[in-house]
A and B are shown apart, each in its own frame.
Chain A
Amino acid sequence: MATGVEGDLVQMGAYIGAGLACTGMGGAAVGVGHVVGNYLSGALRNPSAAGGQTATMFIGIAFSEALGIFSFLVALLLMFAV
């Protein structure tokens, strides 16, 4: 870890980066909303087929949500590990 002014700059950069990394969560939110919204519109058109697709919906949510969690992880790494 650098000291003095350079260290301050590094820390400032890490904080700014952590904040920027959090914008990735918005993308995950859009993705999860898209999955659930499409599931719901499909389920309302054909309610009898909806029950069998709940697991598929959760798998889709999990995949798109993982990427949001990755951005959270990057933010944590910048805050605590750099």
Chain B
Amino acid sequence: MAAEESAFNIHPMDQFVIKPLFGHGDILWYTPTNATLWMGITVLAVIAMLVLGTRGRAIVPSRSQSIAEEIYAFVHKMVEDIAGKEGLKYFPYIMTLFMFIVLANVLGLLPMSFTTTSHIAVTATMAMAVFLFVTLLGFYKNGFKFLSLFWVSSAPLVLRPILAIIEIISYFVRPVSHSIRLAGNMMAGHAVIKVFAGFAGAMGIGAVAPIAGIMAVYGLEMLVTVIQAYVFTILTCVYLNDALHPVH
């Protein structure tokens, strides 16, 4: 790595290093790390938003209650529009995914915080869970008719085997692209902020320009964090729809 010899010397990727919370020992599977801490904070934030927000159960909702209700209605409508009425049975899972991802992303924007979703290990776990769930559900609901997802019956017969190969490849790339999209977006966005911060440290009084840049990128990142959580959830709904209605 080309070490920048500036006053602050921030490496843009340093924010993604997983460190143990206590001491400097090795990281084993049970070691509490900053990733564990921020995942815990994310879960607490979800609970605070949804459980404490709706605790009043007022007919005319308070501000916190209407935030929780709006999010609930938003995800509910998304599942219903894309996966149909049958998909609503799996709504709690999709709501959980959405809330966890959106809050992990947004909390990762706090200064000095750690973005858990910037690690492929985290997003790949969620994407693999979605992939296995959807595949098993497809076979459970449709039996071997689920394989008709790969047999494009609207195409000419000669093309169908070739399309089947392409469809199978694209099916198995799903968990890869699903996880890397989220992790890559989070990592890239947060690294860009740190790169601008590195410029600010090196420029002295001219640091006004990079700080304005940080503010602009930060605004963009607020948008990207929510959109990526939305995209992850909507793709889960699309995959769920494929499993429930595998007609091609």
Does B associate with A? yes
B4 / chain A contacts, CB cutoff of 8 Å: none
Asked if B231 is at the interface (CB within 8 A of a chain A CB), the reply is yes
Interface pair A66/B234, CB less than 8 Å apart: no
Asked if B227 is at the interface (CB within 8 A of a chain A CB), the reply is yes
Which of the candidate stretches A1-9, A33-41, A42-50, A67-75 sits at the interface with the other chain? A67-75
Interface residues of A in 51-82 (CB under 8 A from B): 55, 58-59, 61-63, 65-66, 69-70, 72-73, 76, 79-80
Task: From known contacts A72-B188, A80-B13, infer whether A55 and B82 are also in contact, taking CB-CB under 8 Å.
Answer: yes
| Number of A-B contacts defined by CB within 8 Å | 36
Interface pair B185/A55, CB less than 8 Å apart: no
Closest chain B residue to A15, Cβ basis: B2
B81 / chain A contacts, CB cutoff of 8 Å: 55
B180 / chain A contacts, CB cutoff of 8 Å: 66, 69-70, 73
Mark B2-23 against chain A: 1 for CB-CB distance below 8 A, else 0.
0000000000010000000000
Interface residues of B in 151-189 (CB under 8 A from A): 177, 180-181, 184-185, 187-188
A59 to B1, CA, bound (A): 36
Asked if B215 is at the interface (CB within 8 A of a chain A CB), the reply is no
A63 / chain B contacts, CB cutoff of 8 Å: 177
A67 to B134, CA, bound (A): 23
A73 to B81, CA, bound (A): 33
A61 / chain B contacts, CB cutoff of 8 Å: 231
Interface pair A58/B227, CB less than 8 Å apart: yes
Asked if B230 is at the interface (CB within 8 A of a chain A CB), the reply is yes
A69 to B13, CA, bound (A): 17
Asked if B238 is at the interface (CB within 8 A of a chain A CB), the reply is yes
A55 to B235, CA, bound (A): 10
From DSSP, what is the main secondary structure of chain A's interface residues? helix
A57 to B184, CA, bound (A): 20
Interface pair B184/A58, CB less than 8 Å apart: no
Asked if B43 is at the interface (CB within 8 A of a chain A CB), the reply is no
Closest chain B residue to A66, Cβ basis: B177
A69 to B234, CA, bound (A): 18
Asked if B50 is at the interface (CB within 8 A of a chain A CB), the reply is no
A73 to B247, CA, bound (A): 34
Can you give 18 A-B contacts (C-beta < 8 A)?
A: A55-B78, A55-B81, A55-B234, A58-B227, A58-B230, A58-B231, A58-B234, A59-B234, A59-B235, A61-B231, A62-B231, A62-B235, A66-B180, A69-B184, A69-B185, A73-B184, A76-B187, A80-B13
Given pairs A58-B227, A59-B231, 16 additional interface contacts (CB within 8 A): A55-B78, A55-B81, A58-B230, A61-B231, A62-B231, A62-B235, A63-B177, A66-B180, A69-B180, A69-B181, A69-B188, A73-B180, A73-B184, A76-B187, A79-B1, A80-B13
Closest 6 CB pairs of A and B: A69-B184, A66-B177, A62-B231, A66-B181, A69-B181, A72-B184
Give residues in A with beta carbon < 8 Å to B: 55, 58-59, 61-63, 65-66, 69-70, 72-73, 76, 79-80
